Structure 1
Amino acid sequence: MRFSILFFTAVTAFFAVGVQASPVDSPEVNIIARTPYFHGNAVCYYPNGNYGACGWVLQNSDFVIALSPAHWDNGVHCGQHLNVTYNGKNIDGIVGDICSACAPDQIYISSGAFEALAPLGVGVIPVVWNFT
């Protein structure tokens, strides 16, 4: 009987420590941890109320992002949010178009989104971006 009590106590202590040591599962933490960051240039573009490749009208003031063919993946990211960082500033944009002439990690961002990061006259800025 004494063995059973000691064994039960040891097993209970083992599981209690394991539960306490487990991190709290948070969707935000998991998304960030699994999302790669890309380094490329962001180019300012003007959708001018035209339809984007995702099928809806895009305005210059919208925070719209056009992905390169390397990330387009047949439009699977349409409507997905991207976090774009430049020089300590961040924007949250939505994938709405494809940039067929872009380099693999290059993105086009609408003039409204670009202006939140840098003056429009700059035209091209080095950014870090990721899907959120």
Structure 2
Amino acid sequence: MHSFASMLPLLLFLCSVSTAAYVERAATTLGQASLLVSNGAVRECGTVILNSDLSMTLPSASWAGGSHCGHEVTVTYSVLKGGTVQSRSVQLKVAGECPVCIASQIEMTDAAFNSLGASERGMPTVTWSLN
């Protein structure tokens, strides 16, 4: 029978491996969102985007040659109201690339801003992650 002390290095190794795999899949980016005005335009993924669609574009740094076309991205917007953080998340479909965005910035349609409750159309801070 093995003692707990003798098993500890193995347990720590297994925990670090599973944690690393989880972090890799759930990488979240903190950045800003700008308004994607693309009513009826065809974007890089070959789909027409309407302002009423729940769509977004990725920065060139995350574009990966279009390999994320059609994938969903979870975008979360949080605000502090009355001393409490209130957050809303929405699933958006990748519809194209944003070549003018910085590495952490995304563009979202008007419908995405509305779904998040982000009344400002400036550059609210959001978190986003590829699903």
Both proteins in one fold, TM over 0.5:
yes
Give unpaired runs (5+ residues) of structure 1: 1-9, 11-29
RMSD of Structure 2 on Structure 1 (CA): 2.1
- Could you give the per-residue CA deviations for residues 35-66 of structure 1, whole angstroms, max 9, x where no partner exists? 20000001112111110110011111101110
Structure with a larger share of its residues in strand? 2
Residues 65, 126 of structure 1: alpha-carbon distance in 2 compared, 3 angstrom cutoff:
same
- Could you give the per-residue CA deviations for residues 59-104 of structure 1, whole angstroms, max 9, x where no partner exists? 1110111000000010000000000000101010000011110000
Percent of aligned positions with the same letter in both sequences? 32
TM-score of the two chains, using structure 2 as the length reference: 0.73
TM-score of the two chains, using structure 1 as the length reference: 0.73
CA deviation after TM superposition for structure 1 residue 34, in Å: 1.9
Instruction: Name the CA distance, whole Å, in 1 between partners of 2:23 and 2:53.
Output: 24
Instruction: Name the CA distance, whole Å, in 1 between partners of 2:93 and 2:46.
Output: 13
Give unpaired runs (5+ residues) of structure 2: 2-20, 79-86
Q: Which residue of 2 aligns with 1:89?
A: 88
Structure with a larger share of its residues in helix? 1
State the structure with bigger RCO (CA 8 A, min sep 6), 1 or 2.
Answer: 2
Q: How many residues align?
A: 106
